Amino acid sequence: MNDTDPALLYPRHLAVLRARADEALARSGHDHLLIPSGRRHYQAFDDRDYPFAVNPHFKHWLPLTAVADSWLAYTPGQRPKVIYLQPRDYWHVVPDAPGGWWVEHVDVHVVRTPEEALPLLPGPAARCAILGEANSALGDYAPNNPAPALDYLHYQRSFKTPYELALMRMAQHRAARAHVAAEAAFRAGASEFEIHMAYCAAARQDATEVPYQNIVALNEHGAVLHYTELDRAPPTEPRSFLIDAGASHCGYAADITRTHASDHGGEFQAMIEAVDAAQQAMCAAVRAGADYRQLHLDAHLALMGVLREFGVLKASPEAALATGVSAAFFPHGLGHPIGLQVHDVAGLAASDRGGSIPRPEGHPYLRMTRVLEPGMVVTIEPGIYFIDMLLDELKGDGRADSVDWARVEAFRPYGGIRIEDDVACTEDAPENLTRPAFAA
Ligand code: GLY
Ligand code: MN
Ligand code: MN
């Protein structure tokens, strides 16, 4: 089967979503599934709207990310109905007429005002599972988000269809191209702001289109996990560059981090290469049956091995993990599910009937605790950082002897290292979605 053309893969994707919707409706006891695409949000006391973020359930069914006040209606046994708002509006560009690979597989009804959707919705409203935000309500049709349906659909969403994997691969290519442009800008001495602009230009996406705010951090800024400030002036001495930036394709996210050193022969470059090698081994462990919590703990040990090799850590990796010293250098989770949302739903879900799998004690930021199964896509994003606040805590509470502080000082000016790829679990060897996009 052709695994690259979304048009050929879409019918099978739609069949999977219909089957999931049948089961979700059986569980919640409703007759129809209704998904509003979402309504615009406005700033308080202002007529400025926020960037439109489509309901992820809607873009699961349809590759539409910019169509507000529209609906997907599904009744078991019938073709899905799409109520598509194409307003009469001379202030804004209106959405194109419905077109693309999805159109022939659904019944499309174009409406000119949001209210015109009302008589087209299946009823009565009380018989509908309506998934969406409260502000999407139309008449009696207010989102009720029944938990049995949502628990089921969110859990199942972890299992990507071949159509979804094809779109995710395309997002990777867009992001990889932009990462290459960003590295070139760094090497040319650009500021964070200029690198960000070079990234967006190469991705051909602006800041509202990429799936999360770009993290473009030079030097010590790499130690701020979510650094999004974008200095307008370049530093006098650019030493290091951490970039965590993605791209979107038809509503699917790529989430990629790379770290670069300006000095190819230096110690920081050597540490990047050691983290990269460790990260590749972690990616190779994305196998069906692997417990992601264990992968996270294994990552702590591997990263502490790197810090020992570079003389930063004096304790053993096992001792550093047990005493929490490792969390001062690696204070976030190994990764998370990714797909329609960069941090996709159900990373902690215990089953498709609800419940959650707790994080390991002492690891409050892990976003994925499930056992891996074929079809899941997760990020693998280990990091080593030199964060004053966390290191000061080690100094102050009796764990100072685990660390060679002179070596910390040597690395502090570089901020930190994170390497992040998106990896699909299969029946067999994992598919790293990210690396081939850089090689292409
Ligand atoms: N870019 C956010 C993350 O890596 O999770
Ligand atoms: Mn990231
Ligand atoms: Mn990530």
User: Is the CB–ligand 1 distance for residue 422 below 6 Å?
Assistant: no
- Average pLDDT across the chain, whole number: 97
Q: How confident is the model at residue 2 (pLDDT cuts 50, 70, 90)?
A: low
User: Is the CB–ligand 1 distance for residue 255 below 6 Å?
Assistant: yes
Q: Is 229 annotated as a binding residue?
A: no
Q: Residue 40 pLDDT more than 80?
A: yes
User: Is the CB–ligand 1 distance for residue 228 below 6 Å?
Assistant: no
Give dist(CA 192, CA 229) in Å, integer. 8
Atom of ligand 1 nearest to the CA of 244: 1
Q: Is 273 annotated as a binding residue?
A: no
Q: How far is the CA of 370 from the centre of ligand 3 (A)?
A: 16
State mean pLDDT over 24-46: 98
Task: Mark 51-71 as b/e (b = at least 16 C-beta within 10 Å).
Answer: eeebbbbbbbbbbbbebbbbb
User: Is the CB–ligand 1 distance for residue 431 below 6 Å?
Assistant: no
Q: Residue 90 pLDDT more than 70?
A: yes
Q: How far is the CA of 337 from the centre of ligand 1 (A)?
A: 11
Predicted pLDDT at 92: 87
Q: How confident is the model at residue 262 (pLDDT cuts 50, 70, 90)?
A: very high
Q: How far is the CA of 238 from the centre of ligand 1 (A)?
A: 23
State mean pLDDT over 265-288: 98
For residues 196 and 214, the answer to whether their CB atoms sit within 8 Å is yes
pLDDT one-digit tens code per residue, 100-116: 999 999 999 999 999 99
User: Mapping DSSP to helix (H, G, I), strand (E, B) and coil, where does residue 437 land?
Assistant: helix
Q: Which of 338, 420, 422 is the best mutation target for the ligand 1 pocket, counting ligand atoms within 8 Å of the beta carbon and taking the most?
A: 420
Q: Residue 212 pLDDT more than 90?
A: yes
The yes or no reply on domain 162-439 and CATH 3.90.230.10 is yes
Atom of ligand 1 nearest to the CA of 336: 5
State mean pLDDT over 332-336: 98
| pLDDT over 90 percentage in the chain | 95
In the structure, ligand 2 is a single-atom ion and the residues with CB under 5 Å from it are: 244, 255, 257, 420
Give dist(CA 402, CA 326) in Å, integer. 10
Helices (H) and strands (E) in the chain, counts: 12, 13
Q: How confident is the model at residue 3 (pLDDT cuts 50, 70, 90)?
A: confident
Q: How far is the CA of 346 from the centre of ligand 2 (A)?
A: 18
Give dist(CA 194, CA 216) in Å, integer. 10
State mean pLDDT over 224-228: 97
| pLDDT over 70 percentage in the chain | 100
H or E element at residue 172: helix 162-187
Q: Which CATH architecture has domain 6-153?
A: 3-Layer(aba) Sandwich (3.40)
Which protein residue has the closest C-alpha to ligand 1 atom 3? Answer: 255
User: Is the CB–ligand 1 distance for residue 421 below 6 Å?
Assistant: no
Sequence spans of domains, the chain: 6-153, 162-439
Q: Which of 225, 255, 421 is the best mutation target for the ligand 1 pocket, counting ligand atoms within 8 Å of the beta carbon and taking the most?
A: 255
State mean pLDDT over 188-209: 98
Q: Residue 36 is encoded by which pair of tokens?
A: 């509003």
